[in-house]
Structure 1
Amino acid sequence: MQVSIKWLNDYIKFDETAEELADKYTMSGVPVENVIRADEGLDKVVTGRIEKLEAHPDSDHLQICQMNVGEKELIQIITGAQNVKEGQIVPVAMIGAHLPNGLHIKKGKLRGLPSNGMLCSADELHMDLDKLPEEQKNGIYILPADTPVGVPAKDVLGLDDVVLEFELTANRGDCFSVMGLVREAAVLTGNEPHYPEIKVNEDDAASAADMVKIDIEAKDLCDRFSARVLKNVKIGPSPEWMQQRLEGAGIRAINNVVDVTNFVMIELGQPMHAYDYDEIKGHHLTARVAKAGENLHTLDDSSRVAKGTELVIADDEKPAGLAGVMGGLETEVTEKTTTVVLEAASFYGPNIRRTSRSCGLHSEASGRFERGVDVTNTPRALDRAAQLLQEMGACTVTKGIVDVYPQPKEPVKIDFTAEQINKRLGTKLAGAKMVEILESLGFAIEEKGAEVYTATVPSWRNDCTYMEDLSEEVSRIYGFDNIQSTTPFGRVMQGRQSARQNFIDKIKHVLASLGMTEELSFSFTSTEMFDKMQVPADSMLRQAIPIMNPLTDDAPLVRTSLLTSIMENAVRNFARKNTDIRLFDVAPVFYPKALPVTELPDEVVKLTGLITGRRHPFGWNQSNEMVDFYDMKGIVEELFRALSISGYTVEAGEHFALHPGKTALFKKGREVIATVGELHPAVAANFGIKQKVYLFEMDVETLMKYTAKNFHYESLPKYPAIARDLAIVVDESVAEGAIKTVIERNGGKFFCGVTLFDVYTGEHVADGKKSLAFNLKFQSKDKTLTDEEADAGFNSILKAVEEKFQAELRA
């Protein structure tokens, strides 16, 4: 938001300089980012008349000018400009001037003759060349013949204005208008504002209600919708003073109707739009939600396809404008327009913001609607626009305003006490002082008791709803620098990571030490990724939260699985010829409680990993073996060892994205703590992957639950162990983990470990059978074991596996 000092001065007079006023605004919480002076560098530029002009004796292109600049004597200036003549009045930069283009004017000589200044062009004065006629864009700028001589050029050229550039916070929507800034200036300077008298002469016999009908269908997105009708409209340029005010606000003048709507928007903070009445089908405007697939043809001559969430202003056939953002091209006011419908409304800010971002359109209007406008202001804005156009002689005004206001806004009332505000601010202000400050800001205060009050919030202050908001108003006007600083008191706690953060760091350290690389990925995915991963149609993973304004159309959902993210990164590596990959990711996934979302989703931290390619780094002294299932299984087992997770079992399992015969589930009891397996061939084909890929997936909270919390230490054994080898033949369907479990349960008190060291199928082993060889270890803490004691444990194990699995001892 930017506004010129001249515009503020139209409604309030103050003695402060622009810089002093900017400082007062900033210290009161209405920050001024920059003070822009249009007259910068023009301090020593005055108007001068060329009294005599003659050619330079030693040059064929220089001319000698005898200039009258309002001093007793003429001054001599040498110029190379060819568009000057005697009697013309031009801007003259005197000696010592520092022009906006950086040029410093000094006394000098040109071809031996003294020159005491410089005649200036429009470009050297930093004027807007786009607004000048062609003959004034080049050469010396020629001023009107009746221009006084010797006066500051900035006054004549209209370059004596100063623009304040505000960097307003989102809650101060009221200050996105000249009136709002004038209200603030009145409080800060103590001067009385004089607001324009808004009075319309309804000089046309027709009634607006008979000419146009308006409705609100989307009552949750549009609070109020008002319109006026202007007849006998004459399109032309707006007055110079209005163009200057708009230019100071950073808005380009177009024509009187458009300029007036922009002027009122900046002045009152109420965006408006003008429609060509004859182009409105059915002479009927409705605020409704766009239909999905509907064409939105806006003033920038761009066509957009509606998603079905945008609010539009539509006639009886099609949208006539994107509500709160930009009007429609078909109903644009042109030179042929004779009847205009002026529209002012109040729209739901969050919807306007979403629409603006999704369409890639940001306008002065959308910025104001996003922050909230004064719903009571629409009739006043329509009257102001009609008044301005009427004063220009550009229209006649029909009778009445068509106003649809289904649920009039009730004023907000806030109860507070002086003690509450003083306690919050650390001040000792009297209640009367607080009342004085709040009333100066437009709040109506009712005293309920001894320093007990009720404040009625003015309609333009949508940001004030609680006592805390009132305390902020009191403090900023009283002056933050007047509030005594105190040392905060409270218990100081050392900042540290949570147990979960430490656990995750340990996981990362372990996996990195195993040669894996951590990936960082966006928390977004798509239905296409679910399809490629073969996620079942009824899986909860497909109940992903849609993003209202996705960064890219390729990822419109919030992810429910890390597998989609790690597969995307793997494919990205394959595309860049990197086929030896070891990745892991620890990050949250999001499970909504219901769709559409009405409350925050469950955020669950998952761990996933992926390996593929060579087992060893490429080199002359390394083999070219490829990683297999057992490499990934080993990584998981080493991670569990480092996390002190033990007592788990491993069994065959199933997973939608993994090979049905090469998937293992790590379990504690009945709970799965890890899933490990080879990527399903169909999934690999979906991603265009032609080599074997191995994955694991875990839940971090589950891992934390099973990590050992209490540890005890034992001394190293003093006595030797006895080892026995057990080779048995069992059915191929019997899992090695199940056999290990039986061995551990039946080994006796001296049993201390089992290791599978051989798996064999083939000659001397029947079809459908396999041979498993285990090394059994027996040891005592207090004595040397005898063979008989070890044999007792061995025989117990053998008997148990024979009974449980119909195992046969292999000779």
Structure 2
Amino acid sequence: MQVSIKWLKDYIDFDWSAEELADRFTMAGVPVENVIRADEGLDKVVTGRIERLEKHPDSDHLQICQMNVGEKELIQIITGAQNVAEGQVVPVAMVGAHLPNGLHIKKGKLRGLPSNGMLCSAGELHLDLTKLTEEEKDGIYILPADTPVGVPAKDVLGLDDVVLEFELTANRGDCFSVLGLVREIAVLTGNKPKWPAIACNEDDAAKAADMISIGIEARDLCDRFSTRVIKNVKIGPSPEWMQQRLEGAGIRAINNVVDVTNFVMIELGQPMHAYDYDEITGHTLTARLAKEGENLHTLDDSSRLAKGTELVIADAEHPAGLAGIMGGLETEVTEKTTTVVLEAASFNGPSIRRTARACGLHSEASGRFERGVDVTNTPRALDRACQLLQDMGACTVTQGIVDCYPEPKQPVTIDYTTDEINRRLGTEIPGEEMVKILTELGFTVEAKGEETYHVTVPSWRNDCTYMEDLSEEVARIYGFDKIASTTPFGRMVQGKQSAKQNFVDKIKHTLASLGMTEELSFAFTSTDLFDKLLVPADSPLRQAIPILNPLTDEAPLVRTCLLTSIMENAVRNFSRKNNDIKLFDVAPVFLPHALPLTELPEERLMVAGLITGRREEVGWNQGNEMVDFFDMKGIVEELFRVLGISKYTVEAGEHFAMHPGKTALFKKGREVIAAVGELHPQAAVNFGIKQKVYLFEMDLEVLMKYTGKSFHFESLPKYPATARDLAIVVDESVASADIERVIAKNGGKHFKGVTLFDVYTGEHVAKGKKSLAFNLQFQSKDKTLTDDEADAAFKNILQAVEKHFDAELRA
């Protein structure tokens, strides 16, 4: 939002400089980002008349000008311009001037003759060339013949203005207007504003209601929709003063009708739009949702296909404009227009913001609707626009306003006490002063008791709904600099990480120490990734939350599976010839309870990893062995050891993304704590991967549930351990983990552990059988075990495995 000081002074008097006003605004919570001076570089540029003009004796293109610049004597300036003549008034840059184009004017000589200044062109003064004729753009800028001599050129050129550029917060929609800023100045200065008297003369006998019909279908997106009809419209340029005001606001003048709608938008904060009445099919306008696939042809001559979520203003057949953002090209006001429908409305801010972002269309109007406009202001804005056009003699106004306002807005009321606000601000402001501040800001304050008040919020302050909002109003006008700075006090609590954060750090540190690299990924995914990863069609993982405004069309969903992200990063590495990868990620997935969302989804932290390629880095002393299933299994087992997770079982299982028959499930009881396996062959084909890839996936909440929570320490054993080797032949279908469980159960009180150290099939072993060799450890805390004690335990174990697995002792 930017506005000129001249425009502000049209409605209120103040003596502050532009810089001082900017500082007062900023300290009152209405921040000014920049102060832009239109006259920058024109301090020593004045008007001058060419009294005498003669050729330079030593040049065929230079001319000697004797200039009257309002001083006692004429000054001599030599110029090469050919469009000057005696008697003309031109801008003159005096010695010492620093022009806007960076040129510094000094005394000098041209071909031996002194020159004390320079005649200026439009470009050298940084004038708006788009408003000039071709003749005015070339050569010296010629001023009107009756221009006074010796006065500052900025006054003559209309450049004696200063523009304030505001960086307003989103809640202060009321300050996106000149009148809103004037209200603030009135409170800060104590001066009375000079509000414009708004009244239009309905001088045409026709009734607007007979000419146009309006309605609101999407009542949740449009609160009010109002129109006026003007006839006998004469399209032409707007007055110079209006063009200057609009230029100060950063808006280019187009024609009187369009300029008036823009002027009212900046002045009152109410965006408006003008339609060519004869181009409105059926002479009806309706605020409704666009139909999916409907063509939206806007004033920028761009066509878009509607998604069905956009609010549009439509005539009887098709959209006549994107509501609150940009009008339609077919109903544009042109030089042929004779009857105009003026529209002012109040639209839902979030809806306008979503549509503007989706369409890539951000306008002055959409910016105001996004922040909220005064719903009671639409008739006033229409009257103001008609009044301005009538003052130009550009139209006649039909009878009445056609207004659709289904649910009139009820005033917001707030109760507060003086003590409440003072305690919140840490001040001792008297109640009377608070009442004075709020009243001057437009609030209606009614005393309800001793130091207790009932406040009615003005319609233009959509940001005030609670007592805390009132306290902010009091504080910013009272002056933040008057509120004493105090050190916060209270019970000091040491900040520290939660148990879950420490657990996550331990997992990350452990996996990194095992040679893996942590990835960072966006929490977005797509149906295509689900398909590639072979997620079943009926899996709840496919019930992903759609994103309303996705960063890219390739990732329109919030992820429900961490493996999609890790596979995406793996493919990205493969495409860059990085084939040796060890990645892990600890990140959330988002599981909705139902779609569409009615409550926040469950956010669950998952741990996933991927390894592929060589086991060791390339080197002359390293082998070229590739990682396999047991590398990944070992990583998971080491992680569990660090986390204190023990007494788990490992068994063959299934996972949609992993190879059938090459997938292991780590379990505690019946609960799966990790899935480890080779990437499913079809998934590898889907991702275009031509090498073996191994994955693991875990739920962090499940890991925390089974992690070791209490530990005790034992002294190192004093007595040596005794070992026995057990080699047995069993069916190939028997899992070694099952045998180890039976061994542990029957090993006796001195049993310490079992390790599988050999698996053999082939010669000397029957078909369908396999040989497994285990190392058994026995140890006592109290004594050295005898061979008889170890043999007895060994015999008990052998009998158990023979019984449970029909095993045979291998000689």
Q: Secondary structure at the match of 1:567?
A: helix
Percentage identity across paired residues of the two chains: 83
Does 705-714 or 569-578 show the bigger shift? Answer: 705-714
Q: Secondary structure at the match of 1:765?
A: coil
TM superposition shift of 1:346 = 0.6
d(CA) in 2 for partners of 1:65 and 1:498?
Answer: 83
**1:384-435: CA deviations, max 9, x gaps?**
1111112111111111111111110000000000010011111111111100
1:751 paired to 2:751: yes
1:174 paired to 2:162: no
TM superposition shift of 1:494 = 2.7
Counterpart of 1:351, as a letter, is S
d(CA) in 2 for partners of 1:527 and 1:276?
Answer: 46
Q: How do 1:167-316 and structure 2 match up within 5 A? A: 167-316=167-316
TM superposition shift of 1:765 = 2.2
> Which residue pairs with 1:44 in the alignment?
44
TM superposition shift of 1:622 = 2.5
Q: Secondary structure at the match of 1:139?
A: coil
Q: How do 1:645-724 and structure 2 match up within 5 A? A: 645-724=645-724
d(CA) in 2 for partners of 1:339 and 1:808?
Answer: 104
> Which residue pairs with 1:762 in the alignment?
762
> Which residue pairs with 1:132 in the alignment?
132
d(CA) in 1 for partners of 2:504 and 2:705?
Answer: 13
> Which residue pairs with 1:438 in the alignment?
438
> Which residue pairs with 1:730 in the alignment?
730
d(CA) in 2 for partners of 1:3 and 1:435?
Answer: 30
Q: Secondary structure at the match of 1:224?
A: strand
> Which residue pairs with 1:93 in the alignment?
93
> Which residue pairs with 1:808 in the alignment?
808
Counterpart of 1:11, as a letter, is Y
Counterpart of 1:725, as a letter, is D
Counterpart of 1:102, as a letter, is G
d(CA) in 1 for partners of 2:679 and 2:713?
Answer: 41
TM superposition shift of 1:525 = 0.3
1:637 paired to 2:629: no
TM superposition shift of 1:594 = 2.0
Counterpart of 2:562, as a letter, is L
Q: Secondary structure at the match of 2:383?
A: helix
d(CA) in 2 for partners of 1:804 and 1:344?
Answer: 86
Does 54-63 or 354-363 show the bigger shift? Answer: 54-63
d(CA) in 2 for partners of 1:598 and 1:385?
Answer: 44
1:335 paired to 2:335: yes
Counterpart of 1:750, as a letter, is H
> Which residue pairs with 1:484 in the alignment?
484
> Which residue pairs with 1:604 in the alignment?
604
1:467 paired to 2:470: no
Q: How do 1:310-389 and structure 2 match up within 5 A? A: 310-389=310-389
Counterpart of 1:648, as a letter, is Y
d(CA) in 2 for partners of 1:484 and 1:515?
Answer: 56
**1:187-213: CA deviations, max 9, x gaps?**
111111011111111111111111111
TM superposition shift of 1:36 = 0.5
> Which residue pairs with 2:502 in the alignment?
502
Counterpart of 1:229, as a letter, is V
TM superposition shift of 1:53 = 0.6
Q: TM-score, normalised by structure 1?
A: 0.99
Counterpart of 2:533, as a letter, is M
d(CA) in 2 for partners of 1:83 and 1:644?
Answer: 93
d(CA) in 2 for partners of 1:549 and 1:284?
Answer: 32
d(CA) in 2 for partners of 1:494 and 1:160?
Answer: 59
Q: Secondary structure at the match of 2:610?
A: strand
TM superposition shift of 1:670 = 1.5
TM superposition shift of 1:598 = 2.6
d(CA) in 2 for partners of 1:361 and 1:43?
Answer: 40
Counterpart of 1:168, as a letter, is L
Q: Secondary structure at the match of 2:386?
A: helix
Does 497-506 or 561-570 show the bigger shift? Answer: 497-506
> Which residue pairs with 1:164 in the alignment?
164
**1:413-459: CA deviations, max 9, x gaps?**
00000010011111111111100000000000011001100000000
Root-mean-square deviation (CA, aligned residues, Å) is 1.1
TM superposition shift of 1:221 = 0.7
Count of residues paired in the alignment: 811
Counterpart of 1:329, as a letter, is L
d(CA) in 2 for partners of 1:799 and 1:409?
Answer: 87
TM superposition shift of 1:26 = 0.5
Counterpart of 2:366, as a letter, is S
> Which residue pairs with 1:517 in the alignment?
517
d(CA) in 2 for partners of 1:494 and 1:305?
Answer: 56
1:142 paired to 2:151: no
Counterpart of 1:409, as a letter, is K
TM superposition shift of 1:767 = 2.5
TM superposition shift of 1:766 = 2.5
TM superposition shift of 1:599 = 2.4
> Which residue pairs with 1:72 in the alignment?
72
Does 613-622 or 160-169 show the bigger shift? Answer: 613-622
1:544 paired to 2:539: no
d(CA) in 2 for partners of 1:584 and 1:724?
Answer: 39
Q: How do 1:90-129 and structure 2 match up within 5 A? A: 90-129=90-129
d(CA) in 2 for partners of 1:370 and 1:745?
Answer: 71
Unaligned runs of 5+ in 1: none
d(CA) in 1 for partners of 2:257 and 2:727?
Answer: 97
Counterpart of 2:582, as a letter, is R
d(CA) in 1 for partners of 2:272 and 2:804?
Answer: 85
1:493 paired to 2:498: no
d(CA) in 1 for partners of 2:762 and 2:335?
Answer: 94
Counterpart of 1:420, as a letter, is E
**1:775-808: CA deviations, max 9, x gaps?**
1111111111011111121122122222222222
TM superposition shift of 1:744 = 1.1
Q: Secondary structure at the match of 1:622?
A: coil
**1:687-744: CA deviations, max 9, x gaps?**
1111111000011122122221222111222211111111122222222112111111
TM superposition shift of 1:544 = 0.9
1:18 paired to 2:12: no
TM superposition shift of 1:174 = 0.2
TM superposition shift of 1:492 = 2.2
Counterpart of 1:572, as a letter, is R
> Which residue pairs with 1:789 in the alignment?
789
d(CA) in 1 for partners of 2:759 and 2:280?
Answer: 84
TM superposition shift of 1:367 = 0.5
d(CA) in 1 for partners of 2:598 and 2:189?
Answer: 47
**1:151-210: CA deviations, max 9, x gaps?**
110010000010000000000000000010011111111111011111111111111111
> Which residue pairs with 2:527 in the alignment?
527
Q: TM-score, normalised by structure 2?
A: 0.99
TM superposition shift of 1:769 = 2.1
d(CA) in 1 for partners of 2:65 and 2:466?
Answer: 70
d(CA) in 1 for partners of 2:137 and 2:495?
Answer: 64
Counterpart of 1:451, as a letter, is E
Q: Secondary structure at the match of 2:664?
A: strand
Does 493-502 or 721-730 show the bigger shift? Answer: 493-502
d(CA) in 1 for partners of 2:272 and 2:536?
Answer: 51
TM superposition shift of 1:375 = 0.5
d(CA) in 2 for partners of 1:358 and 1:702?
Answer: 41
d(CA) in 1 for partners of 2:761 and 2:308?
Answer: 64
d(CA) in 1 for partners of 2:239 and 2:305?
Answer: 38
Counterpart of 1:615, as a letter, is R
TM superposition shift of 1:111 = 1.9
Counterpart of 2:376, as a letter, is T
> Which residue pairs with 2:566 in the alignment?
566
d(CA) in 1 for partners of 2:544 and 2:765?
Answer: 51
Does 219-228 or 127-136 show the bigger shift? Answer: 127-136
Counterpart of 1:604, as a letter, is R
